[in-house]
Amino acid sequence: MPPKKQATKVEEAAPAPEVEDKKVKKSASTKAETKTASKKAESKKSEAKSASKKADSKKSESKKTESKKAEKKPAAPAEKRERVKRDLTKELVHGDFLTLEQNFKETLRSLPTESRRAMGDIFRRFVDLRKDTTKVLRIKGKRQNSGEGGFKKGVKISNELSKFCSSNSANVLKWIEKAIAEGKSSGKASKWENKDYSGFNDWSVTKEHGRDKVTNFLCAYISDKNLQNPNMRKELKLDSALQTLFNLKQADKDNEGNAITYCTLQTLLTQHYPEALAAKKAKEAAKAKEAPKK
Quick: pLDDT tens for 123-164.
788 788 878 877 777 666 555 555 556 778 888 999 999 999
Distance CA 99, CA 103 (A): 6
Q: In which domain, by residue range, is 160 found?
A: 152-290
Predicted local confidence at residue 132, as pLDDT: 80
Segment 216-232 mean pLDDT: 91
Q: What integer pLDDT is reported at residue 129 of this predicted model?
A: 80
Last residue of a domain, one of 77, 104, 137: 137
Higher per-residue confidence, 144 vs 249: 249
| pLDDT value, residue 282 | 82
Does 19 reside within a domain?
no
Top-confidence residue, 84 or 12: 84
Residue 35 has pLDDT above 80, yes or no: no
Same domain, 187 and 256: yes
157 with 129, same domain: the answer is: no
Q: Are 187 and 98 part of one and the same domain?
A: no
- The answer to whether residue 125 sits within a structural domain is yes
Rounded Cα–Cα distance for residues 37 and 131 (Å):
86
Report residue 171's pLDDT band, with 50, 70 and 90 as the boundaries: very high
User: Does residue 70 have a pLDDT over 60?
Assistant: no
For residues 158 and 235, state if they share a domain. yes
Q: Say if residue 155 is exposed, middle or buried (CB neighbours under 10 Å; 0-12, 13-18, 19+).
A: middle
State the pTM of this model: 0.49
Judge whether residue 24 has pLDDT over 70: no
Looking at the structure of the chain, the number of domains it has is 2
Please say whether the beta carbons of 270 and 280 come within 8 A: yes
pLDDT at 169 over 90: yes
Task: Return the percent helix, strand and coil in the chain, to nearest 5.
Answer: 70, 5, 30
> Nearest CA to 201 among 234, 177, 229?
177
Q: What is the mean pLDDT of residues 182-187?
A: 84
- Residue 179 resides in a domain: yes
Give percent of the chain with pLDDT exceeding 70: 67
The answer, yes or no, to whether residue 10 has pLDDT greater than 60, is no
For 90-106, the pLDDT digits (tens) are 777 777 778 887 887 78
Which is more confidently placed, 22 or 85? 85
Q: What is the torsional sign of CA 225, 272, 265, 239?
A: positive
Between 66 and 97, whose confidence is greater? Answer: 97
Is residue 279 in some structural domain?
yes
Is 54 inside a domain boundary? no
Lowest mean pLDDT: which of 36-40, 60-64, 69-73?
A: 69-73
**Cβ of 175: how many Cβ atoms within 10 Å?**
17
Dump pLDDT digits (tens) for 260-285.
Answer: 888 888 889 989 998 877 887 888 78
pLDDT recorded at residue 165: 94
4 has a pLDDT exceeding 50: no
Quote the pLDDT of residue 13: 47
Distance CA 67, CA 65 (A): 5
